[in-house]
Amino acid sequence: MGAGVAKKSGGGGRRGRRRGHSSAMADINITPFVDVMLVLLIIFMVAAPMLTVGVPVKLPETAAASLPTEQEKPLAITIGADGKLFLMNSEADEATLIPQLQAIAAERTSDKIFLRADGSVPYERVAQVMGALNAAGFRNIGLVTDSNGPLMGAAAGGGAAEPNQ
């Protein structure tokens, strides 16, 4: 009656494998890797705003809006509270500042120069540096201020002064 049905002999179809023995896992578990990357991302996002480069000065406060960022970092000249000049992060002598700027500007595409001055520096000193830059051919000069300051009318006592009668 059992016509044409052949049975395999010797076990349940798994030859050569023992029970409980498993083969090596072919997939890599990336969950710990993703967890570490997300933690690093958060750390870098928190740390990035704290990485400002420059000489520490107390900038004057204004109500001006921030400038849009550019691809190439502009040159920065800083006038410290003691009146010393700094080109980017290094101290610069007044006699060699303009030749140094001209050498650096020759290699750059942007002619933008940011002038940072401590709030305690007299206006005359800032004007002298701006005049020297202008005389040397630098026309694209931006003054750097802190944007948390009051508006002009608010700084003078809260509004327009009333005329005396």
SS3 per residue for 71-94: CCCCEEEEECCCCCEEECCEEECH
pLDDT of 94-110, one tens digit each?
888 888 888 888 888 77
> Who has greater pLDDT, 151 or 99?
99
| pLDDT tens sequence across 61-87 | 777 766 655 566 778 889 988 888 988
Residue 161 confidence (pLDDT)? 47
pLDDT tens readout for residues 7-20: 555 555 555 555 56
CATH of domain 75-144: 3.30.420.270
* pLDDT attached to residue 38: 97
pLDDT at position 162, please? Answer: 45
Strands (E), 88-152: 90-92, 113-117, 141-144
pTM confidence score = 0.50
Residue 6 has a pLDDT of: 55
Helices 123-135 and 94-106 pack at an angle, to 10 degrees, of 50
Q: Is the dihedral of CA 79, 81, 83, 89 positive or negative?
A: negative
| Angstrom distance (rounded) from CA 98 to CA 138 | 10
Please tell me the distance from the alpha carbon of residue 64 to that of residue 76, in angstroms, as a whole number: 19
Residues 6+ apart with CB under 8 A from 129: 77, 79, 85, 115, 117
Percent of the chain with pLDDT over 70: 68
Average pLDDT rounded to a whole number, residues 108-113 = 82
Q: From start to end of the chain, where are the E strands?
A: 75-79, 85-87, 90-92, 113-117, 141-144
- Structural domain boundaries of the chain? 75-144
Whether the pLDDT of residue 93 is over 60: the answer is yes
What integer pLDDT is reported at residue 34 of this predicted model?
Answer: 95
Both tokens assigned to 110 = 């942007």
- Residue 160 scores a pLDDT above 50: no
* Cα 65 to Cα 146: distance, rounded to the nearest angstrom: 10
Q: Provide the mean pLDDT of the chain.
A: 77
| pLDDT confidence of residue 62 | 77
Please state whether beta strands 90-92 and 85-87 pair in parallel, antiparallel, or not at all (unpaired): antiparallel
Query: Strands 141-144 and 113-117: what pairing?
Result: parallel
